Structure 1
Amino acid sequence: MSALVWLDPALAAVVGLLFGSFLNVVIYRLPKMLEAGWQQECAQYLAEQAGQDPATASASTAPRFNLMTPRSRCSACGHTLSWFENIPVASYVVLRGRCRACQAKISPRYPLVELLTAGLFAFCVHRWGLSPQAALWCGFSATLLALALIDWDTTLLPDNLTLPLLWAGLIGALQGWTGVSLDASLWGAVGGYLSLWSIYWAFKLLTGKEGMGYGDFKLYAALGAWFGWPALVPIILMSSVIGALVGIAMKLFSQLREGGYIPFGPFLAGAGFTALIWGAGPMQARLLGLFGL
């Protein structure tokens, strides 16, 4: 009987592996798709200002590039991956982390994302069973993971992901699937956005610099929608603790980027995962105990 208890989470883990493989594509390609779109919009605007036909200016001979096209390929030699080179985790192990064609190293982050997604999906199904709640939290986990890694790589938090995450939290609260009332979810979204927005403008007025981006406001608002307004303080405290620890570690190992800038989104995401696993209330109690409060 005990083995049957783990059957559904095990199946969810398999689905998570497959979805994690797709997340790797999203993490790599979505920022490039956004940049291409921005370049096209700039070309259209410049054409309009010059009195030219914007449709002609935006015409491109570049091959199609989206989440489905072209097929995955080696970034070093351009080798198109066969289906057996795209099996989550297993292909990486069999190929020993190298391209079959040119033997270039493959980043271990690819299988790690797949394994992490599998673990998150298994956790959600173990906690909520095969239910709409589990599916919703699986979607939350996958989106948050993608946002964290995109922000880490590019300092972008795309609206394509933050806004659907925000709306999904509100709809989940409306349906009673997140365990948060609609009022708490709505005010969590409002409070999350306005708090970081206020800090952003206060910092900019005092220093003349931008301390964070608008994507951080939207991500914090989304977390407020999912966990409710009482979770805002523990989430921001936890994200600050995680950020401080990562920043100290990067400083010690001389891994800080030029200018010492570290995106805040991954730390908000880390706090979101902490709230998902342990709950915002227990997380706040642990943090207050850590600071002796």
Structure 2
Amino acid sequence: MNALDGYAELLLVDWLAQLAPHWRLAIFAVAGVVGGLLLDVVVRRVPAAIERAWLEELQATETPEGVAPGSLSGTSASSASLLTGLHARATAPVLASSAKDSGVGATELPTALTEAPPPRRWRLALLTGALSAAISWRFGPTWQSIGALGLVWTLVALAYIDHDTQLLPDILTLPLLWAGLLCNLGHWFAALPSAVIGAAAGYTSLWAMYWVYWWIRRREGMGFGDFKLFAALGAWFGWTALPQILLVACVLAIVFAGSAWVMGRLRSDQMFPFGAFLAVAGVVTLFGGDGLMLWIGGTP
């Protein structure tokens, strides 16, 4: 067995290896479509559950004089402002135990979709089906392909949730981080030391950028969910892939924001979710490796 372009030696799944390639592609594609339909439920229900938890915690702080912004343990005045829709992301992170804001600054309380239109539901299913078939083609009948399925499906769900609500829920980002470290115990996608360093570097790098931007502009530039997603990608691909992931995400974000601004769909001061672009950059790195790092003189 040969190593797979920067990844570990292939670890075959016996029953998959016994199937003809076209049957494997079909199985992965069908699994992806079914998984996409399930992800549609996750995309709609998880933000709705978070919003209900926020509202319940807000109601628990109400007094005869109104809302006491700082009365919740672990909740700042800006958290109460977000929950009441008065001012989002003014200072501190929102309800650390529930989820962290992921967008490059949302401006109002996100309202989760309660029912997805059928065309969108099937677009999501077809997207995950196509990506799953591509994973079968890229990684073959291996345990790496099983891990890649979990990674891609989670990234797709996070991208959709971030696009809809500008949230990156902890319930998805944190398990994704731990799953990356566990997979790399066997050097599936990166050496374990590189994965551990990648998780730490991914979080601290965006955390530092957050506070530099805050010191210069006195406003938030991104949410804590972005830190966790970047840390999770570092856990999956190692620290050497982080510059490439960030570069690809920033280029995509600039293209998207510039196009939307030219078409009048985005104001120059309007914020947009950055986590979705990180997710796309993660998928690009999964299929393409960190070849850009080789080009600029890095190591795989």
Pairwise TM-score range, normalised by the shorter structure: 0.7 to 0.9
Tell whether the 8 Å contact from 1:186 to 1:225 is kept in structure 2 after alignment: yes
Displacement of 1:160 in angstroms is 0.5
Displacement of 1:43 in angstroms is 3.0
1:252 to 254, 262, 275: 262
CA change 1:254–1:108 in 2 (3 A) is: farther
Letter in 2 for 1:111: W
Displacement of 1:250 in angstroms is 1.0
Q: Distance in 2 between matches of 1:240 and 1:8?
A: 35
1:25 to 25, 41, 50: 41
Aligned to 2:142: 131
Displacement of 1:75 in angstroms is 4.5
Q: Distance in 1 between matches of 2:118 and 2:240?
A: 39
Displacement of 1:257 in angstroms is 6.2
Tell whether the 8 Å contact from 1:6 to 1:126 is kept in structure 2 after alignment: no
Tell whether the 8 Å contact from 2:29 to 2:129 is kept in structure 1 after alignment: yes
Aligned to 1:116: 127
Higher relative contact order (CA 8 A, sep 6+): 2
Indicate the SS of the match to 2:167. coil
Aligned to 2:30: 14
Displacement of 1:38 in angstroms is 1.8
Which one is further off, 245-254 or 194-203? 245-254
Letter in 1 for 2:149: C
Tell whether the 8 Å contact from 1:184 to 1:229 is kept in structure 2 after alignment: yes
Q: Does 1:34 align with 2:50?
A: yes
Aligned to 1:272: 282
Letter in 2 for 1:136: G
Aligned to 1:56: none
More helix by share: 1
TM-score normalised according to structure 1 size: 0.73
CA change 1:137–1:18 in 2 (3 A) is: same
CA change 1:271–1:205 in 2 (3 A) is: same
Tell whether the 8 Å contact from 2:203 to 2:231 is kept in structure 1 after alignment: yes
Displacement of 1:258 in angstroms is 8.8
Tell whether the 8 Å contact from 2:195 to 2:238 is kept in structure 1 after alignment: yes
Indicate the SS of the match to 1:108. helix
Aligned to 1:207: 217
Map 1:133-282 onto structure 2 (within 5 A).
133-178=144-189, 180-256=190-266, 259-280=269-290, 282=291
Indicate the SS of the match to 1:215. helix
Indicate the SS of the match to 1:206. helix
Number of aligned pairs? 232
Indicate the SS of the match to 1:6. helix
Please, what is the CA RMSD of the aligned residues?
Answer: 2.5
Indicate the SS of the match to 2:20. helix
Gap regions ≥5 residues in structure 2:
1-18, 67-112
Percent same amino acid at aligned positions?
A: 42
CA change 1:283–1:217 in 2 (3 A) is: same
Q: Distance in 2 between matches of 1:211 and 1:31?
A: 21
Gap regions ≥5 residues in structure 1:
51-72, 77-105
Letter in 2 for 1:235: I
The C-alpha deviation readout for 1:62-90, integer Å capped at 9, x for no partner, is xxxxxxxxxxx9949xxxxxxxxxxxxxx
Q: Distance in 2 between matches of 1:152 and 1:257?
A: 17
